Structure 1
Amino acid sequence: MRENDWAFDGNGWQLDAPDAGDSWICFCPLDSLSDAEGRSLLFHWSQPFSGSSQNFSRTHLIQRPNSAWNWESQAPFPVSAWVVNPVIAELDIGHFLHLGESGSLDSMRWMQTNSNEPPMEIASAASPAPAGEIEHWIRWNQSTDSVSIDFSAHSTPFEWHHAMEGNANNQPDCIGFSAKFTASHAADFRIEIGHIKEHEPDTIPPFVVRSLWLSDQVLALHFNEPLSPHSGVGTWAQGDSLFFAPEMHKSNRRIGLCAGDFPEGQPQILTIHGLLDASGNELSNPINQVLRTSSQDMKPHSMQFTEIMFDPNPSLGFPEAEWIEILNRSESFHAIADFVVLDGSSETQVALSPEFGWDGILAPGERAIVAGCDFRINGDSVHQAKGIPWPGLNNAGESLMLLGKDGSIADALHFTEEWMQGSNNGGVSLQITDWNACNSRSNWGPSMHPLGSTPGMVSYQEGPNLSSQHPLTLSEITPTSSSEGILAFNQPLDPLSELIMIGIQAGNLNHLTGNDSTIAWKLHSLPATKKIVFYAHGIEACVQSERSSSKWFIQLKTHRFPEFQDLLITEIAHQPMGATEAWGSFVEVTNVHPSDSLELGGLTCNNSPLSGRIVLAPGARHCFPEINLPNTSGGVSIRAADGTLIDEVIYSNCWHRQRMNEDNGKSLVRLNLEKGAHGSFNWSSSMDSRGCSPGTSDPAEEQLTLHRLPLPVTCGVFHNRWAILFNGPVEIASDDWDPVFREECGSWAGSLEANQLWAGPSQFEPLEGGIAEMTWGDGVTTIASLCPSSSFVSEDVVCDFTLNEIQQLKLNGPEPFIEIVHSEHPWISTRLLQWTTTTSPNPSDWIFVSPEVQWFISQNTPTAFSRCPSRWFSQGARVIPADLPSLWGNRELQLARSGAFLDSIHLHPNHDSPWSTWHHLRSLERVDGFNLPL
């Protein structure tokens, strides 16, 4: 024995050789065995591949060598050779079982060794496994000289098949094991010894292991051990006989032909007579239940999905594994292996294989879970099958179908994460409610069990007929375009019902995934008139009940569907509080078409759909309620059902012209209802006594507003491109210029309006010709006139910016700003310019004046920075949006560049004129070229 080649694993010995070669091991009982009795040997042989001339194994059955045998240097049997070594020729007759020669369908050969002669073949048998590998128990039954060799049908010694038989001419006392191997298989052989003992007569009766239908009428019965040649006979409970066909010698199978059609799904009693095992023992279970299952022509919900764990992490009690629960709601027994689960997202067909000793039969009312894991999810009492291959369940949603072998649908389900009703943090399953209702969103929800799920068990949430039944009625017909629309019903609909549109106008009907009580229609061609007529057929309620009609007659005449700015957004309640809290957040739209009423069906406001059909007359208004709107700044868009933009507003609380109104709950209202761009110039606070005016015109609309001149304010560089800031939204028709969106910038751009900041050509190109030379509203100002000839403007100068004017933050005062100016150079940029009002500031207390845009400011051009520049634009001011340091109370405002001090001013009440009764509204302005007074 090469001791270092073999490792004990607790039950057997595993080869673990360092390199290629051959090796052996031998087992002999401590006590001698009687020669008068036969032998009973049991061992497990493991070779997990088909052998070859260079990779094979042998099991040796020999008599005990004499006590002088040198075990360390010589095996008492031929390890890998086909001739007997002269050293072992003196030993008694021995035997070995050999497996592995060609590597293809090799047989197991029983060889006998005898003195100096080559090994002689006694018998052979097909390999226990079809590919030539072996992972089986072998038993040697020897009562006298005659030996019967059987192998197990599985890796456990439970069901025995006859392999071969012959005469041994001696009685082995020891079991040896040897292997020849290449380096790639140096750890691929194993032997485990069950017992080596005197033969004991077989007194244990055989029994039926399982039944298997080979065809519609041919039944095979498998027994746990080889049988005697007697064929036997079976009788059914109703009196019919089952005759068995002759079988091979010592076969452990009997095949019978059933007369007539055998009932499916219901166990039948079969009594077996006259069957004996090879030792003459009668059958221990002559009365058996025989079941023939089928998954052909499955009816909906006969086998039903009842619970789905698609997001098991984190676990609330059960192991973290995905699984699907299936309930047998039919009156028949079903085999889980007869079905497949079709995963829609991956298009995977998942085979179902019973595990952990379960035979795979689901009786009526029983349930099982299907998982991809190799461990039990909920104890021994729960049936569990493995899904092969397991596709994984999508947390965002999944389509699942349970199919019979003929493709018939036993159940189908398409769920999304919204079905979890907010309980989608993991560890909670999706649970059905009413078994008799359809698989719609209304019939599923999160499990309420404390452990998050009930795998393989009945949940108190589920059962039959838990939903109320009402006649199905059509609630509303809503057109969403000239050829499309929605039918809304009074209850959820069956998503598997087959919908058919009948009428002169061809089209189709479809279930809407987001609303299980609605059906969408679509005509393939536009009607010659605005009249739509068709029948909707095949619509079924999720909960079956009586309904007023088998098909629904649809007839309506549509009005104009809104196009761009036929509807205008005219009021935005973005921060309701106080008196306006009763109306909540809403968005008002107005029909500004001069003559046509508008169909609002299918419109969405910030993805919030409008429910029902609404026809809006010219000049009439409608409110979208409960729209989620940011308080400070945000966007509102109205879109048609196909996504076409109807109107859009990018608003800011800076649009309240009086700073005191931005936090008091008042809504924003549009002042002029003519079509065109939205901007702060055309919006202001509601002047209604309620603080808002939903559905009606607002008194603020009667205010006369100054005509806005679209003017560029200043020039800079944004992300290596020339940039121009305007005093409101403008349109530039040029391939070189693009609007900069608020989302592309930091917090300083919170008040930036749509199309107010534009980025143009590369900063390395001069601004000349075309858009750069075009004059704007005043007929004089051009983009080029506000920009230096080159973007490379030095900020490393001796005379830099100074503070020129400050509007402090005061109660009910005007919008705060900080104004700077320089007087010594043609242009200076704001790059690396910082300010702070913190006493003894740390580096983190300094705020960049313009962190993302390098603004260019010309000589002697005072330029202000403010959070809400729009509140100063009406005065023609040059103001840039920015984050300001705190300007409230007594503070010192400091200005610096790259850490170098530039200017400062102390802000306190003594700087105001004490004799002025409205001094708190005034700013503080530099009056000479020296520092501001302290």
Structure 2
Amino acid sequence: MTSAMFRLGILLMLVLSGNILQGQTEIFSFDKDTSLSGWIANGTGRWEIAANNSIAGTKSLHHAYDNSQAGTDYLFHAYPVVLNFDDTLIWQFKIRHSYLPSSANRWTFYIAAGNPSACMPCNETALAVGVNLNSSDDGLNLYHINANGIKRLTNGTFNWEKSIGTGTGIVKIIRLPNGTYQLWAANAADGLWQFCEEVKSNIIPASCYFGISYTYSSAQDRKLWVDDISINSKPIASDRFRVDTFYFLSSRQLWVHFTAPIDPSSINASSVYFSPSIAGIRIESGCQHILVTFPEGSYDSISGQLHLIRLKSQGGLMINDTILPISRVETRAFDIVFCELMVDPTPAQGLPPFEYIECYNRSNHDIGMSKWVLSNGSTKIALPNMFLPKGGYLLVTSKEANGMFNHLNHVIYELPSGFLNNEKGTLWLSNEKGEVISYVQYQGNYITDKIKREGGWSLEIIDPNNPCGGAGNWTASRSLSGGTPGYANSVAGKNPDRKMPFLS
């Protein structure tokens, strides 16, 4: 028996046994509730606890708003427990949507979110499960929703319309300590669990709230019921409240993310401070992060230490006093370079048939790209809050390609159709100050192979350390799939600039 089969067998026993953790289980069943006290909605009268057509017990949560127009309504609740992402977590709920799913009629269950709203995008990474958030295949999927937009983590192998339809479904999500998520579903009519798929993600989402979002067309409101929401988590160990990651979003903004939600009352001038002291530093906190903003126009580089002293989580855990070494070097021209362009993606050789632009961080430090702009001279694309690690690749591709490059770490699905001219073009990448960091002029005839010039092959830079090498430093990809998005170029090699400068 393979290890994967053994793990699946163990998980099946866990699923069939119900709540299996020796931890704290919170169950939201609406039988005894008479009001939605403690829940946060986007307006009054949007939701109700109703006996009409309940899906569990005598009463269920029901969307109640009679809207004459299409809309989206949501309902969130603060987490009653601190989720322990170092151990096994289990979420489960029942749901009935008495209208077949579509892109205009869909539900989303936010397993973990930083704000009590149906954010798309979200400043802090949210984890959600739903149908047709950014597709129309009717598949049940897990999603990350963050500043980059919606990223589908799974492949939608469980078809909600065919397996559940307008009946009641039961959804269970199991997260293992190694970051593997298991997605399970059952039709309440027979209660037989079906393993949908699994995916691994080491991103820890913000977990201050959970909730439901319902998007509907004008005649399809009031057709959603939810019940028996359960969350099972072992208590978090006292030494597990710590910094998860930190990086510069921009030249002035430092983002510090934690493993659990922060108690905002514990943040003050003596618990979070920078040394050496800099006048005008601003400290702001979110659900699970701290944002440190340095004064405007003061520093080409920032070097020092961020002190986190006696900071508490919402569950009352005290962080071990932590000193973070902070160093930010001013981003210079060509620290990030354009390194691959798919200007004519068809006929596809093995990659999704969409244009893409790949950038590479060739510097020796991570670079925050918040408020950066990608331009072709006539159209500008604003990049979201993000950072690109040293040696990392950023792929910017078509909106229609959403989900097709999710195996890569840094993908933005914002490229409009026709952004790349097949014959020739110019691209600029500018930072938040408007300074040009990277620039390239390309021509389709850089691809000299007649067959490859018919389409489906990318232009790759040979030597990223010679970004101004022009035609002599770009050529057609040698990859059998037509390109190498997110990875080292197939034509990579040394091609230094040996041409002497001259006056013209």
* TM bin (shorter chain): 0.5 to 0.7
Matches within 5 A, 1:386-425: 386-387=413-414, 389=416, 391-421=418-448, 422=450, 423-425=452-454
CA 1:270/1:415 → structure 2, altered by over 3 Å: closer, same or farther?
same
Match of 2:221 in 1: 186
Give the alignment partner of residue 227 of structure 1, picking from 225, 242, 263.
Answer: 263
> Cα distance, 1:281 vs. partner?
1.0
Q: Distance in 2 between matches of 1:244 and 1:353?
A: 23
Give the SS at the match of 1:424: helix
- Cα distance in 2 for residues equivalent to 1:178 and 1:453: 39
CA separation of 1:456 and 1:155: change in aligned 2, threshold 3 A: closer
**Deviations 1:241-270, CA, capped at 9 Å, x for gaps:** 99998989x975656676998866778653
Contact 2:74/2:213 (CA < 8 Å) preserved in 1?
Answer: no
For the pair shown, which has the larger CA radius of gyration, 1 or 2?
1
- Structure 1 distance, partners of 2:231, 2:62, is 21
Deviation, 1:274, is: 0.7
Secondary structure of the 2:394 match is strand
- Is 1:455 paired with 2:395? no
Between stretches 424-433 and 453-462, larger displacement belongs to 453-462
For this pair of structures, how many residues does the alignment match? 351
The change in CA–CA distance for 1:442 and 1:80 in structure 2 (over 3 A counts) is: closer
| Residue of 475, 488, 494 corresponding to 1:445 | 475
Alpha-carbon distance change, 323 to 137 in structure 1, aligned in 2, over 3 angstroms:
farther
The answer to whether 1:160 aligns with 2:196 is no
1:206 aligned to which of 238, 241, 246: 241
Higher RCO (C-alpha 8 Å, min separation 6): 2
The aligned amino acid for 1:278 is: Q
Q: CA–CA distance in 1 between the matches of 2:328 and 2:387?
A: 10
Unaligned segments of structure 1, at least 5 residues: 1-28, 32-36, 82-98, 104-130, 143-149, 164-174, 355-359, 470-542, 553-934
1:816-895 to structure 2, matched below 5 A, reads: none
Which of the numbers 438, 441, 455 marks the counterpart of 1:426?
A: 455
Q: TM-score, normalised by structure 1?
A: 0.31
Q: 2:396 matched to which residue of 1?
A: 370
The CA deviation string for residues 151-208 of structure 1, in whole angstroms up to 9 with x for no partner, is 6445428323489xxxxxxxxxxx9x999x99524377464754167x9766464344
State the 1:342 CA deviation: 0.9
Q: Note if contact 2:79-2:208 (Cα within 8 Å) is conserved in structure 1.
A: no
Q: In the alignment, which residue of structure 1 is the partner of 2:368?
A: 335
Q: What percentage of aligned pairs have identical amino acids?
A: 19
- From 269, 275, 281, give the equivalent of 2:311: 275
**Structure 1 counterpart of 2:338, from 302, 305, 309:** 305
Provide closer, same or farther for how the CA distance between residues 184 and 226 of structure 1 changes in structure 2, counting only shifts above 3 A.
farther
In the alignment, is residue 40 of structure 1 matched against residue 26 of structure 2? Answer: yes
8 Å Cα contact 1:339/1:405 also seen in 2: yes
- CA change 1:272–1:292 in 2 (3 A) is same
Q: Distance in 1 between matches of 2:486 and 2:56?
A: 59
Task: Give the Cα separation in 2 of the matches to 1:365 and 1:371.
Answer: 20
**Residues 773-821 of structure 1: CA deviation (Å, up to 9, x unaligned):** xxxxxxxxxxxxxxxxxxxxxxxxxxxxxxxxxxxxxxxxxxxxxxxxx
Residue 361 of structure 1 corresponds to: 387
| Aligned partner of residue 442 in structure 1, secondary structure | helix
- Offset of residue 429 of structure 1: 0.9
- Give the aligned partner of residue 348 of structure 1: 379
1:208–1:285 contact (8 Å) kept in structure 2: no
Alpha-carbon distance in structure 2 between the residues aligned to 1:265 and 1:414: 30
1:195 to 230, 241, 266: 230
SS of residue paired to 2:484: coil
Give, in angstroms, the shift of residue 338 of structure 1.
Answer: 3.9
Structure 2: how far apart are the matches of 1:334 and 1:160?
A: 26
Shift of 1:272: 1.5
Task: Describe the superposition over 1:453-501 as per-residue Cα deviations: whole angstroms up to 9, x where unpaired.
Answer: 222222353345435x2xxxxxxxxxxxxxxxxxxxxxxxxxxxxxxxx
Change (3 A) 1:219 1:242: farther
Query: Structure 2, unaligned stretches of length 5 or more?
Result: 1-16, 30-35, 83-111, 116-124, 129-204
Question: What is residue 165 of structure 2 aligned with on the other side?
Answer: none
State the alpha-carbon separation in 1 of the partners of residues 363 and 290 from structure 2.
31
Q: 2:247·2:387 contact (CA, 8 Å) conserved in 1?
A: no
Q: Matched residue of 2:383: which SS?
A: strand
1:352, 1:370 within 8 Å by CA — same for their partners in 2? no
The answer (yes or no) to whether the contact 1:219–1:257 under 8 Å persists in 2 is: yes
Q: CA deviation at 1:409?
A: 2.1
Contact 2:283 2:292 in 1 (8 A): no
Aligned Cα RMSD in Å?
5.4
Report the 3-state secondary structure (helix = DSSP H, G, I; strand = E; otherwise coil) of the residue aligned with 2:219.
helix
Q: C-alpha separation between the residues in 2 aligned to 1:59 and 1:162? A: 20
Aligned to 2:348: 315
CA contact (8 A) 2:262 2:288 kept: yes
Residue 326 of structure 1: aligned partner: 359
| Alpha-carbon spacing, 1:447–1:202, altered in 2? closer, same or farther (3 Å) | closer
Which amino acid in the other structure matches residue 349 of structure 1? Answer: K
| Residues 730-761 of structure 1: CA deviation (Å, up to 9, x unaligned) | xxxxxxxxxxxxxxxxxxxxxxxxxxxxxxxx
CA distance in 2 between counterparts of 1:206 and 1:50 reads 31
Structure 1 CA distance for aligned equivalents of residues 225 and 329 of structure 2:
39
In the TM superposition, residue 227 of structure 1 has moved relative to its aligned partner by 1.2
Residue 135 to residue 290, structure 1, CA distance change in 2 (3 Å): farther
Distance 2:486 2:273 in 1: 37
The aligned residue for residue 58 of structure 1 is 48
Which of the numbers 135, 139, 152 marks the counterpart of 2:79?
139
Q: Do the aligned partners of 2:247 and 2:254 also contact (CA within 8 Å) in 1? A: yes
Q: Deviations over 1:93-137 (max 9, x none)?
A: xxxxxx999x9xxxxxxxxxxxxxxxxxxxxxxxxxxx9943756
User: Normalising by structure 2, what TM-score?
Assistant: 0.53
| CA distance in 2 between partners of 1:192 and 1:265 (Å) | 53
CA distance in 1: counterparts of 2:357 and 2:249, whole angstroms: 30
The alignment status of 1:286 with 2:322, answered yes or no, reads yes
**2-side partners of 1:178 and 1:366: how far apart?**
34
1:73 & 1:375 partners in 2: Cα distance? 34
